[in-house]
Amino acid sequence: MTATTDVATALTERFPQVTARPSLDWPAFNVPVGQLLDVLRHLRDKCAFDLLVDVTAIDWSAAQSPRFTVVWHLLSTVRHTYVRLATDCADDANPAMPSATGLWPGANWHEREAYDMFGISFSGHPDLRRILMWDGYPYFPLRKEFPLAGLETALPDPAVAEETGAKVKPAPYMGGPFVAAAGGSMDEAEPRAKDQSWTEHQEKPV
Amino acid sequence: MVSPNTEISYDSKIEGDLVVSRLDAVINWIRTNSMWPMPMGLACCAIELMAVAAARFDIARFGAEVMRFSPRQADCMIVAGTVTYKMAPQVRRIYDQMPAPKWVIAMGACASTGGMYRSYAVLQGVDRIVPVDVYVSGCPPRPEALLDALIKLQAKVRREPAAQRLFKT
Protein backbone atom coordinates (compact mmCIF):
# COMPACT_ATOMS: atom_id res chain seq x y z
CA MET A 1 0.00 0.00 0.00
CA THR A 2 1.27 3.40 -0.95
CA ALA A 3 0.06 5.12 2.13
CA THR A 4 -0.52 8.72 1.22
CA THR A 5 -0.30 8.62 -2.55
CA ASP A 6 -3.28 9.91 -4.39
CA VAL A 7 -5.23 7.07 -5.97
CA ALA A 8 -5.59 8.97 -9.20
CA THR A 9 -1.88 9.37 -9.80
CA ALA A 10 -1.19 5.82 -8.65
CA LEU A 11 -3.70 4.42 -11.09
CA THR A 12 -2.91 6.56 -14.11
CA GLU A 13 0.81 5.93 -13.71
CA ARG A 14 0.26 2.21 -13.73
CA PHE A 15 -2.58 2.21 -16.30
CA PRO A 16 -2.26 5.15 -18.72
CA GLN A 17 -5.53 4.28 -20.46
CA VAL A 18 -7.51 4.87 -17.29
CA THR A 19 -9.04 8.35 -17.35
CA ALA A 20 -10.63 10.41 -14.63
CA ARG A 21 -14.41 10.55 -14.59
CA PRO A 22 -16.41 13.56 -13.41
CA SER A 23 -17.48 12.94 -9.83
CA LEU A 24 -18.97 15.04 -7.08
CA ASP A 25 -17.68 12.99 -4.19
CA TRP A 26 -15.09 10.22 -4.46
CA PRO A 27 -12.45 9.67 -7.16
CA ALA A 28 -13.95 8.02 -10.21
CA PHE A 29 -12.35 6.54 -13.30
CA ASN A 30 -13.27 5.29 -16.72
CA VAL A 31 -11.60 1.96 -17.32
CA PRO A 32 -11.27 0.15 -20.68
CA VAL A 33 -12.85 -3.32 -20.67
CA GLY A 34 -9.56 -5.06 -21.38
CA GLN A 35 -7.82 -3.66 -18.31
CA LEU A 36 -10.75 -3.89 -15.95
CA LEU A 37 -9.78 -6.95 -13.95
CA ASP A 38 -6.15 -5.80 -13.77
CA VAL A 39 -7.25 -2.43 -12.43
CA LEU A 40 -9.55 -4.03 -9.87
CA ARG A 41 -6.79 -6.38 -8.74
CA HIS A 42 -4.29 -3.53 -8.56
CA LEU A 43 -6.66 -1.47 -6.45
CA ARG A 44 -7.35 -4.40 -4.16
CA ASP A 45 -3.78 -5.62 -3.69
CA LYS A 46 -1.67 -2.48 -4.05
CA CYS A 47 -3.99 0.37 -3.01
CA ALA A 48 -5.83 -1.37 -0.14
CA PHE A 49 -9.30 -1.07 -1.64
CA ASP A 50 -10.21 -4.37 -0.08
CA LEU A 51 -14.00 -4.22 -0.01
CA LEU A 52 -16.27 -4.36 -3.04
CA VAL A 53 -19.30 -2.35 -1.95
CA ASP A 54 -21.46 -2.43 -5.04
CA VAL A 55 -21.64 -3.49 -8.65
CA THR A 56 -24.40 -1.86 -10.62
CA ALA A 57 -25.09 -0.52 -14.07
CA ILE A 58 -26.43 2.50 -15.92
CA ASP A 59 -28.73 2.38 -18.92
CA TRP A 60 -28.20 5.54 -20.98
CA SER A 61 -31.31 4.66 -23.07
CA ALA A 62 -31.54 2.90 -26.41
CA ALA A 63 -30.66 6.05 -28.34
CA GLN A 64 -27.20 6.17 -26.82
CA SER A 65 -24.15 4.16 -27.73
CA PRO A 66 -22.47 2.80 -25.70
CA ARG A 67 -25.77 2.15 -24.02
CA PHE A 68 -24.73 0.35 -20.82
CA THR A 69 -22.10 1.32 -18.28
CA VAL A 70 -21.19 -0.95 -15.40
CA VAL A 71 -20.10 0.74 -12.18
CA TRP A 72 -18.03 -0.64 -9.29
CA HIS A 73 -17.71 0.97 -5.88
CA LEU A 74 -14.69 -0.01 -3.83
CA LEU A 75 -14.04 0.86 -0.20
CA SER A 76 -10.72 0.85 1.55
CA THR A 77 -11.24 -0.28 5.12
CA VAL A 78 -7.71 0.99 5.81
CA ARG A 79 -7.91 4.46 4.32
CA HIS A 80 -11.65 4.88 4.74
CA THR A 81 -12.12 6.18 1.21
CA TYR A 82 -14.11 5.04 -1.73
CA VAL A 83 -13.24 4.80 -5.38
CA ARG A 84 -15.62 4.37 -8.29
CA LEU A 85 -14.87 2.64 -11.58
CA ALA A 86 -17.00 2.74 -14.70
CA THR A 87 -16.72 0.67 -17.86
CA ASP A 88 -18.85 0.90 -20.98
CA CYS A 89 -20.24 -2.28 -22.49
CA ALA A 90 -19.11 -2.63 -26.07
CA ASP A 91 -22.21 -4.41 -27.30
CA ASP A 92 -25.49 -2.48 -26.90
CA ALA A 93 -27.78 -5.39 -27.76
CA ASN A 94 -26.11 -8.08 -25.66
CA PRO A 95 -24.05 -6.24 -23.06
CA ALA A 96 -21.30 -8.29 -21.46
CA MET A 97 -18.63 -7.62 -18.84
CA PRO A 98 -15.93 -9.72 -17.18
CA SER A 99 -16.95 -10.95 -13.77
CA ALA A 100 -15.19 -9.80 -10.60
CA THR A 101 -16.17 -12.93 -8.67
CA GLY A 102 -12.59 -14.19 -8.97
CA LEU A 103 -11.40 -11.17 -6.97
CA TRP A 104 -14.29 -10.70 -4.53
CA PRO A 105 -16.70 -13.61 -3.90
CA GLY A 106 -19.18 -10.94 -2.83
CA ALA A 107 -19.45 -9.78 -6.42
CA ASN A 108 -21.56 -12.85 -7.07
CA TRP A 109 -24.93 -11.48 -5.99
CA HIS A 110 -24.21 -7.92 -7.14
CA GLU A 111 -23.57 -9.19 -10.63
CA ARG A 112 -26.63 -11.39 -10.52
CA GLU A 113 -28.66 -8.32 -9.63
CA ALA A 114 -27.15 -6.29 -12.45
CA TYR A 115 -27.92 -9.17 -14.78
CA ASP A 116 -31.46 -9.42 -13.48
CA MET A 117 -32.23 -5.72 -13.76
CA PHE A 118 -30.20 -4.70 -16.84
CA GLY A 119 -29.45 -7.95 -18.67
CA ILE A 120 -25.70 -7.55 -18.50
CA SER A 121 -24.08 -10.97 -18.71
CA PHE A 122 -20.93 -11.25 -16.63
CA SER A 123 -18.55 -13.67 -18.32
CA GLY A 124 -16.84 -16.00 -15.87
CA HIS A 125 -19.64 -15.73 -13.31
CA PRO A 126 -20.16 -19.15 -11.69
CA ASP A 127 -23.93 -18.95 -11.33
CA LEU A 128 -25.48 -16.18 -13.41
CA ARG A 129 -29.19 -16.51 -12.62
CA ARG A 130 -31.81 -13.92 -11.85
CA ILE A 131 -31.81 -12.95 -8.19
CA LEU A 132 -34.88 -10.76 -7.64
CA MET A 133 -37.28 -11.64 -10.43
CA TRP A 134 -38.07 -15.28 -11.10
CA ASP A 135 -36.35 -17.50 -13.65
CA GLY A 136 -38.06 -17.13 -16.98
CA TYR A 137 -39.16 -13.52 -16.47
CA PRO A 138 -38.89 -12.09 -19.98
CA TYR A 139 -37.85 -8.49 -19.25
CA PHE A 140 -35.06 -6.51 -17.60
CA PRO A 141 -36.96 -4.11 -15.37
CA LEU A 142 -34.44 -1.32 -14.91
CA ARG A 143 -33.84 -0.78 -18.61
CA LYS A 144 -35.10 2.56 -19.78
CA GLU A 145 -37.76 1.20 -22.13
CA PHE A 146 -39.39 -0.84 -19.35
CA PRO A 147 -42.36 1.00 -17.79
CA LEU A 148 -42.42 1.31 -14.00
CA ALA A 149 -45.91 -0.20 -13.90
CA GLY A 150 -44.61 -3.33 -15.60
CA LEU A 151 -45.68 -5.36 -18.60
CA GLU A 152 -48.19 -8.17 -18.84
CA THR A 153 -46.71 -11.64 -18.68
CA ALA A 154 -47.50 -15.03 -17.13
CA LEU A 155 -47.24 -15.89 -13.44
CA PRO A 156 -44.09 -17.86 -12.52
CA ASP A 157 -46.07 -21.03 -11.82
CA PRO A 158 -48.16 -22.29 -14.80
CA ALA A 159 -50.36 -24.51 -12.62
CA VAL A 160 -51.32 -21.66 -10.31
CA ALA A 161 -51.75 -19.33 -13.27
CA GLU A 162 -54.19 -21.75 -14.84
CA GLU A 163 -56.09 -22.33 -11.61
CA THR A 164 -56.49 -18.70 -10.66
CA GLY A 165 -56.47 -17.07 -14.08
CA ALA A 166 -54.14 -14.46 -12.61
CA LYS A 167 -51.44 -12.80 -14.66
CA VAL A 168 -48.63 -10.40 -14.06
CA LYS A 169 -50.29 -7.13 -15.05
CA PRO A 170 -49.16 -3.53 -15.20
CA ALA A 171 -49.83 -1.84 -11.87
CA PRO A 172 -52.58 0.79 -11.92
CA TYR A 173 -51.18 4.27 -12.05
CA MET A 174 -54.12 6.57 -11.61
CA GLY A 175 -52.98 9.79 -10.10
CA GLY A 176 -49.38 8.71 -10.38
CA PRO A 177 -46.51 8.66 -10.66
CA PHE A 178 -45.99 9.79 -7.10
CA VAL A 179 -42.90 11.89 -7.46
CA ALA A 180 -41.25 14.63 -5.50
CA ALA A 181 -41.11 18.05 -7.10
CA ALA A 182 -37.67 19.54 -7.58
CA GLY A 183 -36.98 22.76 -5.76
CA GLY A 184 -39.50 24.77 -3.78
CA SER A 185 -40.21 24.39 -0.12
CA MET A 186 -40.16 21.04 1.68
CA ASP A 187 -43.94 21.15 1.75
CA GLU A 188 -44.19 21.52 -2.02
CA ALA A 189 -41.56 18.87 -2.62
CA GLU A 190 -43.60 16.24 -0.79
CA PRO A 191 -44.18 13.24 -3.12
CA ARG A 192 -47.77 13.32 -4.29
CA ALA A 193 -49.94 12.33 -7.20
CA LYS A 194 -49.37 14.63 -10.14
CA ASP A 195 -52.33 13.77 -12.32
CA GLN A 196 -55.61 12.72 -10.74
CA SER A 197 -57.69 13.13 -13.89
CA TRP A 198 -57.79 9.39 -14.56
CA THR A 199 -58.70 6.31 -12.56
CA GLU A 200 -58.91 2.57 -13.05
CA HIS A 201 -62.32 3.02 -14.68
CA GLN A 202 -61.64 6.21 -16.59
CA GLU A 203 -58.89 6.06 -19.18
CA LYS A 204 -56.01 8.43 -19.09
CA PRO A 205 -56.81 11.50 -21.22
CA VAL A 206 -54.55 11.62 -24.25
CA MET B 1 -82.37 -60.19 31.68
CA VAL B 2 -82.23 -56.82 30.01
CA SER B 3 -85.54 -55.35 29.03
CA PRO B 4 -85.61 -53.35 25.83
CA ASN B 5 -85.86 -49.58 26.20
CA THR B 6 -89.20 -48.53 24.82
CA GLU B 7 -89.05 -44.90 25.89
CA ILE B 8 -88.26 -42.43 23.10
CA SER B 9 -87.86 -39.34 25.25
CA TYR B 10 -84.61 -38.27 26.92
CA ASP B 11 -83.63 -40.43 29.85
CA SER B 12 -80.90 -38.88 31.97
CA LYS B 13 -80.09 -42.22 33.66
CA ILE B 14 -79.10 -43.71 30.32
CA GLU B 15 -77.68 -40.80 28.31
CA GLY B 16 -76.18 -38.58 30.93
CA ASP B 17 -75.77 -34.81 30.61
CA LEU B 18 -77.11 -33.47 27.35
CA VAL B 19 -77.62 -30.10 25.75
CA VAL B 20 -79.96 -29.70 22.85
CA SER B 21 -78.92 -27.20 20.19
CA ARG B 22 -78.81 -26.61 16.46
CA LEU B 23 -76.04 -28.37 14.60
CA ASP B 24 -75.13 -25.13 12.80
CA ALA B 25 -74.72 -23.36 16.08
CA VAL B 26 -72.53 -26.10 17.53
CA ILE B 27 -70.27 -26.40 14.50
CA ASN B 28 -69.90 -22.66 14.13
CA TRP B 29 -69.26 -22.26 17.84
CA ILE B 30 -66.39 -24.73 17.55
CA ARG B 31 -65.02 -23.14 14.38
CA THR B 32 -65.16 -19.55 15.54
CA ASN B 33 -63.41 -20.22 18.81
CA SER B 34 -60.53 -22.27 17.52
CA MET B 35 -59.59 -20.51 14.34
CA TRP B 36 -55.96 -21.49 13.92
CA PRO B 37 -54.11 -18.96 11.77
CA MET B 38 -51.61 -19.68 9.03
CA PRO B 39 -49.25 -16.69 9.37
CA MET B 40 -48.20 -15.64 5.86
CA GLY B 41 -45.79 -13.05 7.20
CA LEU B 42 -44.28 -11.51 4.09
CA ALA B 43 -43.27 -8.01 5.20
CA CYS B 44 -43.53 -5.50 8.03
CA CYS B 45 -47.18 -6.39 8.76
CA ALA B 46 -45.82 -9.64 10.16
CA ILE B 47 -44.29 -7.63 13.01
CA GLU B 48 -47.74 -6.36 13.95
CA LEU B 49 -49.02 -9.91 13.60
CA MET B 50 -46.43 -10.99 16.16
CA ALA B 51 -47.55 -8.17 18.43
CA VAL B 52 -51.12 -9.45 18.14
CA ALA B 53 -49.95 -12.84 19.30
CA ALA B 54 -47.92 -11.43 22.18
CA ALA B 55 -49.07 -10.67 25.70
CA ARG B 56 -50.30 -7.09 25.30
CA PHE B 57 -52.94 -7.82 22.66
CA ASP B 58 -53.12 -11.58 23.09
CA ILE B 59 -55.03 -13.11 20.23
CA ALA B 60 -55.48 -16.15 22.50
CA ARG B 61 -58.48 -14.35 23.97
CA PHE B 62 -60.22 -15.14 20.69
CA GLY B 63 -58.95 -18.69 20.33
CA ALA B 64 -56.64 -17.92 17.44
CA GLU B 65 -53.28 -18.06 19.14
CA VAL B 66 -52.17 -21.37 17.64
CA MET B 67 -50.08 -20.15 14.73
CA ARG B 68 -49.71 -23.19 12.52
CA PHE B 69 -46.75 -23.26 10.19
CA SER B 70 -48.21 -26.30 8.50
CA PRO B 71 -51.11 -25.36 6.23
CA ARG B 72 -52.63 -28.77 6.92
CA GLN B 73 -53.46 -27.68 10.46
CA ALA B 74 -54.58 -24.13 9.74
CA ASP B 75 -58.03 -22.64 9.27
CA CYS B 76 -57.37 -19.00 8.50
CA MET B 77 -54.56 -17.61 6.38
CA ILE B 78 -53.47 -14.16 7.49
CA VAL B 79 -51.65 -12.61 4.54
CA ALA B 80 -49.50 -10.05 6.33
CA GLY B 81 -47.36 -8.11 3.91
CA THR B 82 -46.44 -7.37 0.33
CA VAL B 83 -47.14 -10.24 -2.05
CA THR B 84 -44.72 -10.13 -4.94
CA TYR B 85 -45.47 -11.93 -8.17
CA LYS B 86 -42.59 -14.22 -7.37
CA MET B 87 -44.22 -15.18 -4.06
CA ALA B 88 -47.81 -15.29 -5.32
CA PRO B 89 -47.83 -18.92 -6.54
CA GLN B 90 -46.46 -20.09 -3.21
CA VAL B 91 -49.21 -18.20 -1.36
CA ARG B 92 -51.79 -19.86 -3.57
CA ARG B 93 -50.23 -23.30 -3.08
CA ILE B 94 -50.26 -22.91 0.68
CA TYR B 95 -53.88 -21.83 0.48
CA ASP B 96 -54.64 -24.94 -1.60
CA GLN B 97 -52.97 -27.13 1.00
CA MET B 98 -55.19 -25.86 3.80
CA PRO B 99 -58.14 -28.14 4.56
CA ALA B 100 -61.61 -26.71 4.11
CA PRO B 101 -63.30 -24.85 5.67
CA LYS B 102 -60.70 -22.11 5.33
CA TRP B 103 -60.68 -18.35 5.42
CA VAL B 104 -58.31 -15.57 4.40
CA ILE B 105 -57.60 -12.24 6.06
CA ALA B 106 -55.77 -9.71 3.87
CA MET B 107 -53.85 -7.74 6.47
CA GLY B 108 -52.73 -4.26 5.52
CA ALA B 109 -52.68 -2.12 2.42
CA CYS B 110 -50.20 -4.25 0.48
CA ALA B 111 -52.04 -7.53 0.86
CA SER B 112 -55.36 -5.83 0.12
CA THR B 113 -54.44 -3.74 -2.91
CA GLY B 114 -50.71 -3.70 -3.46
CA GLY B 115 -50.53 -0.64 -1.27
CA MET B 116 -47.85 1.86 -2.07
CA TYR B 117 -46.08 -0.62 -4.34
CA ARG B 118 -47.46 0.36 -7.74
CA SER B 119 -44.72 -1.68 -9.28
CA TYR B 120 -43.97 -4.31 -11.87
CA ALA B 121 -42.96 -6.75 -9.15
CA VAL B 122 -45.93 -6.63 -6.77
CA LEU B 123 -49.27 -8.40 -6.97
CA GLN B 124 -51.93 -5.67 -6.74
CA GLY B 125 -54.04 -7.33 -4.07
CA VAL B 126 -53.95 -10.91 -2.85
CA ASP B 127 -57.59 -11.31 -3.85
CA ARG B 128 -56.37 -11.88 -7.38
CA ILE B 129 -55.15 -15.33 -6.39
CA VAL B 130 -57.08 -16.34 -3.24
CA PRO B 131 -60.61 -15.49 -2.03
CA VAL B 132 -60.38 -12.94 0.78
CA ASP B 133 -62.92 -12.81 3.62
CA VAL B 134 -61.76 -9.75 5.53
CA TYR B 135 -59.60 -6.83 4.42
CA VAL B 136 -57.76 -4.81 7.03
CA SER B 137 -56.73 -1.27 6.22
CA GLY B 138 -53.57 0.29 7.59
CA CYS B 139 -49.90 0.40 6.79
CA PRO B 140 -49.32 -1.55 8.91
CA PRO B 141 -52.64 -2.02 10.75
CA ARG B 142 -52.67 -1.64 14.52
CA PRO B 143 -53.00 -4.94 16.39
CA GLU B 144 -56.49 -3.88 17.42
CA ALA B 145 -57.42 -3.69 13.75
CA LEU B 146 -56.38 -7.28 13.20
CA LEU B 147 -58.29 -8.37 16.29
CA ASP B 148 -61.30 -6.53 14.88
CA ALA B 149 -60.84 -8.37 11.59
CA LEU B 150 -60.76 -11.67 13.45
CA ILE B 151 -63.94 -10.77 15.32
CA LYS B 152 -65.59 -9.82 12.03
CA LEU B 153 -64.49 -13.09 10.51
CA GLN B 154 -65.93 -14.96 13.48
CA ALA B 155 -69.21 -13.11 12.99
CA LYS B 156 -69.16 -14.15 9.36
CA VAL B 157 -68.45 -17.78 10.21
CA ARG B 158 -71.33 -17.79 12.72
CA ARG B 159 -73.73 -16.97 9.91
CA GLU B 160 -72.58 -19.84 7.72
CA PRO B 161 -74.93 -22.83 7.17
CA ALA B 162 -72.23 -25.20 8.37
CA ALA B 163 -74.38 -28.32 8.60
CA GLN B 164 -75.47 -28.08 4.97
CA ARG B 165 -71.91 -27.68 3.83
CA LEU B 166 -70.79 -30.70 5.84
CA PHE B 167 -72.71 -33.01 3.55
CA LYS B 168 -72.16 -31.09 0.35
CA THR B 169 -70.08 -33.06 -2.10
Nearest by CB to B124, which of A159, A164, A171? A171
Q: How far apart are CA A122 and CA A26, in angstroms?
A: 25
Indicate the pLDDT class of residue A3, thresholds 50, 70 and 90. Answer: very low
C-alpha A3/C-alpha B43 separation (Å) is 45
Of A134, A170, A173, the CB nearest to B86: A134
Structural contact between residues B91 and B40, judged by C-beta atoms closer than 8 angstroms: yes
Across the interface, whether the CB atoms of A134 and B129 are under 8 A apart is answered no
Collect all residues of chain A within an 8 Å Cβ-Cβ radius of residue B86. 132-134, 156
Which residues of B lie closer than 8 Å to A, measured between beta carbons?
Answer: 85-86, 88-89, 92-93, 96, 114, 117-124, 128-130
Q: Is the pLDDT of residue B25 over 50?
A: yes
pLDDT digits (tens, 9 = 90+) for A71-127: 999 999 998 999 999 999 999 999 999 999 999 999 999 999 999 999 999 999 999
- How does residue A199 score in pLDDT terms, banded at 50, 70 and 90? low
3-class SS string, A7-38: HHHHHHHHCCCCEECCCCCCCEEECCHHHHHH
Domains of chain A and CATH, by start = 7-132 (3.30.460.80)
Architecture of the domain spanning B38-159? 3-Layer(aba) Sandwich (3.40)
State how far the alpha carbon of B139 is from the alpha carbons of A44, B17, B57, B149, in Å.
44, 50, 18, 15
Which one of A155, A192, A195, A199 makes the best mutation probe of the B interface by having the most chain B beta carbons within 10 Å? Answer: A155
Residues of A in contact with B129 (CB under 8 A): 160, 164, 166
Q: Which residue of A has its CA nearest to B122?
A: A171
B134's CB contacts (< 8 A; 6+ apart) are: B103, B104, B105, B106, B149, B150, B152, B153, B156
DSSP B9: S
pLDDT value at residue A4: 39
Q: Considering only CB atoms, which chain B residues are within 8 Å of A132?
A: 86, 121
Domain boundaries, chain B: 38-159
